[in-house]
Every structure is written in structure tokens, then in C-alpha cells.
């Protein structure tokens, strides 16, 4: 058992180190410093992104009072709460409520996460095709994806709550729907919209929102352990009702306040170097071009 744990830890650490090395070798502050950038890539970045010689003034007040960004963080927090519960608590549900051994439940529990991985790649690939074919705006498509994913999470958990005698395949199917189809709300819904809301601050907002979402969602496992004392169906139903309530809330919140439109507070004037000279441009046009060219960009 210890060998398996050490192997898992070693593999995870090795992958992390490889990512760090890759990041160190290929990440540069500006296109001019990159030794392998092509002239086409260089021109594209200058024309569509721009480079500022002066540090950007970050509009923190506008960011944290932006309703679309607040809706984004709420969705992210609820999504992580659901993931942490499914990942950390539901295996115990299968062991205690269904009398499934640890090794068997481990194999069965791989199925929902494999399906979630496939769903995420499917959404990233097909979203621009579906959007272009439907003719709907980016905001409307993101909201539809988000609502569909939320409904799938809610429906899957209600199927467990209202079934007194659940079976193992019922639970596996419900969790698969939760993670696989529920991921439409994440990978096809709210998550990619930071590049649409504020292309200039997408990396910053991603870090800030991820930190806040993890702070909110990390106590999920602890809260669930407080609720689950006797491993009764009623206690587990309470855990699932919390997630249902969260997803009902974020579904309507994102439906009302969610957006994939460029926010005015993210618009800045930049000085863009053009092969030795400087020309003034407004990042609004660049941001709009980036959103149009790469509507499904994942980061």
C-alpha cells in the first residue's frame, strides 16, 4: 500500500517538475525576447495584444464590484465544492452505504472522472462550432451551457436523494452525469469567459478567482464530515442538498449577471511598438478581435 502511495506521489511530482521546466524554457515577458517566435506570431501578438512600456494600473475596485466577475467566482466556488465532495466524500458513501470495498470502489470511481475529462475536451473543441452554427451571441451560448450543466448536477443528485435504496450502478451513473454533463457549466460555460471579460487581466483574474474559490470550497470535506456522523441516508441527503442549493443559486445568478462581453474597466490605452516605432492604440479593438478569433480559448 505504501509503495502505491509513493508511486502516485512520485508521478505527480515528476509531472509538476516537467511543467515547471517547460514553463521556464518557453515563457517570456514580451515577444521580442522569445528566441523561437516566428515573424507571423510576432506580428499577430503586436497587432492583437500590444505591449505596454508602462505598468498597467489594476482597477481593483471595478474588478471586485463587477457583477459578471462576481457571478464567475460564485460559479467557480460552487463547482469546486461539488468536485471536492464527489472526490473526497462520495467514495465513503459507496463504502459505507453500499458496502463496496476500497479497491473495487476505486476502479468504479475512475469512470466519472474519465468521462469528465472527455467531456471537457469535447466542449472545448465543439463550442465554437455550435456557436457559429446556432448564430447565438457568445454570452447567450455561455449561459446556455452553464444552465445545462447546472441542471445536470441538480438532476443527478436529486436522483440519489429521492431514491431510498440506491444501487452501485445508480450511484456511478449519477456521479458520471454530475461530473461529465455537469462539466458543460464549467468548460463550456463560465470558465473560459475571463478572456472575454478582461483579456488584459485574464491571467490575474484567473489567479485571484482560483484562490478565492479554493478558500471557499476547501472546507467542503470538513463541513461534510461534521454533517455525516452516523452514515445515515438522511445525513448524506443533507450533504447533497447543499450542492443542489448551491447550483440552483449559481444557475440563476449566472443567468442574470453572467456575461462574455468585454468590460469597460478592462479597456486601457497601450503604447504598441511596431518594429522600432510606437503607435497608440486602444486595447478595446484588440480585445474584441481576440474574443472573435478565439472564442473557446481555454486556460
Instruction: Specify if 150 maps to a domain.
Output: yes
Q: If pLDDT is split at 50, 70 and 90, which confidence band does 56 have?
A: low
Torsion of CA 243, 77, 96, 2, to 10 degrees: 170
Per-residue cell: 127: 463550442
Instruction: Specify if 6 maps to a domain.
Output: no
Instruction: Specify if 220 maps to a domain.
Output: yes
Instruction: Specify if 251 maps to a domain.
Output: yes
H helix intervals, the chain: 2-26, 39-48, 60-64, 67-88, 90-97, 102-134, 138-161, 168-176, 184-185, 194-197, 202-217, 220-227, 233-257, 283-293
* Confidence at residue 185, expressed as pLDDT on a 0 to 100 scale: 94
183 and 149 Cβ atoms separated by less than 8 Å: yes
CATH number at residue 76: 1.20.1250.20
pLDDT digits (tens, 9 = 90+) for 176-190: 999 999 999 999 999
Per-residue cell: 284: 478595446
What is the tally of structural domains in the chain?
Answer: 1
* Between 274 and 74, residue with greater pLDDT: 74
Above 90 in pLDDT, residue 12?
A: no
Q: If pLDDT is split at 50, 70 and 90, which confidence band does 24 have?
A: confident
* Confidence at residue 192, expressed as pLDDT on a 0 to 100 scale: 92
Instruction: Specify if 245 maps to a domain.
Output: yes
Domain span including residue 186? 69-265
* Between 276 and 54, residue with greater pLDDT: 54
* Confidence at residue 294, expressed as pLDDT on a 0 to 100 scale: 40
Average pLDDT of the chain, as a whole number: 83
Instruction: Report the percentage of the chain scoring pLDDT > 70.
Output: 83
Going by the DSSP 8-state scheme, the letter that residue 265 receives in this structure is G
* Between 95 and 271, residue with greater pLDDT: 95
pLDDT digits (tens, 9 = 90+) for 112-166: 999 999 999 999 899 999 999 988 999 999 999 999 999 999 999 999 999 888 8
Above 60 in pLDDT, residue 292?
A: no
The closest alpha carbon to 202, from 84, 83, 118, 283, belongs to 283
Instruction: Specify if 57 maps to a domain.
Output: no
Q: Please compute Rg for the chain using Cα positions.
A: 22
Instruction: Specify if 84 maps to a domain.
Output: yes
b/e for 125-134, b at 16 or more Cβ within 10 A?
eebeeebeee
Region for residue 293 given its phi and psi (left: phi exceeds 0; alpha: psi -120 to 50; beta: otherwise): alpha
* Confidence at residue 93, expressed as pLDDT on a 0 to 100 scale: 84
Instruction: Specify if 144 maps to a domain.
Output: yes
CA angle centred on 123, ends 121 and 129, rounded to 5°: 120
Amino acid at each position: 500500500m505504501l509503495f502505491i502511495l509513493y508511486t502516485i506521489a512520485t508521478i505527480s511530482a515528476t509531472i509538476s517538475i516537467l511543467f515547471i521546466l517547460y514553463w521556464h524554457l518557453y515563457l517570456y515577458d514580451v515577444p521580442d525576447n522569445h528566441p523561437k517566435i516566428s515573424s507571423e506570431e510576432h506580428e499577430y501578438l503586436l497587432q492583437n495584444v500590444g505591449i505596454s512600456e508602462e505598468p498597467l494600473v489594476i482597477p481593483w475596485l471595478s474588478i471586485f464590484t463587477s457583477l459578471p466577475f462576481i457571478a464567475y467566482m460564485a460559479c467557480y466556488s460552487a463547482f469546486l465544492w461539488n468536485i471536492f465532495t464527489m472526490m473526497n466524500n462520495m467514495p465513503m458513501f459507496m463504502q459505507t452505504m453500499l458496502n463496496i470495498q476500497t479497491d473495487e470502489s476505486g476502479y468504479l470511481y475512475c469512470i466519472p472522472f474519465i468521462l469528465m475529462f472527455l467531456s471537457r475536451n469535447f466542449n472545448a473543441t465543439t463550442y465554437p462550432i455550435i456557436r457559429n452554427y446556432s448564430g447565438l451571441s457568445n454570452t447567450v451560448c455561455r449561459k446556455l451551457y452553464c444552465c445545462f450543466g447546472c441542471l445536470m448536477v441538480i438532476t443527478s443528485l436529486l436522483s440519489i436523494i429521492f431514491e431510498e435504496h440506491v444501487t452501485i450502478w445508480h450511484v456511478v451513473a449519477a456521479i458520471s452525469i454530475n461530473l461529465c454533463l455537469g462539466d458543460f457549466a464549467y468548460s463550456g460555460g463560465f470558465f473560459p469567459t475571463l478572456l472575454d471579460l478582461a483579456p488584459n487581466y485574464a491571467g490575474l483574474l484567473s489567479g485571484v478567482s482560483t484562490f478565492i474559490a479554493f478558500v471557499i470550497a476547501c472546507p467542503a470535506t470538513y463541513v461534510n464530515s461534521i454533517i455525516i456522523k452516523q452514515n445515515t441516508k438522511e445525513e448524506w441527503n443533507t450533504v447533497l442538498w447543499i450542492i443542489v442549493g448551491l447550483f440552483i443559486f449559481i444557475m440563476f445568478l449566472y443567468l442574470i449577471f453572467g456575461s462574455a462581453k468585454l468590460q469597460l474597466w478592462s479597456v486601457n490605452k497601450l503604447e504598441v511598438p511596431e518594429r522600432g516605432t510606437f503607435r497608440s492604440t486602444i486595447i478595446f479593438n484588440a480585445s474584441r478581435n481576440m474574443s472573435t478569433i478565439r472564442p473557446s480559448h481555454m486556460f
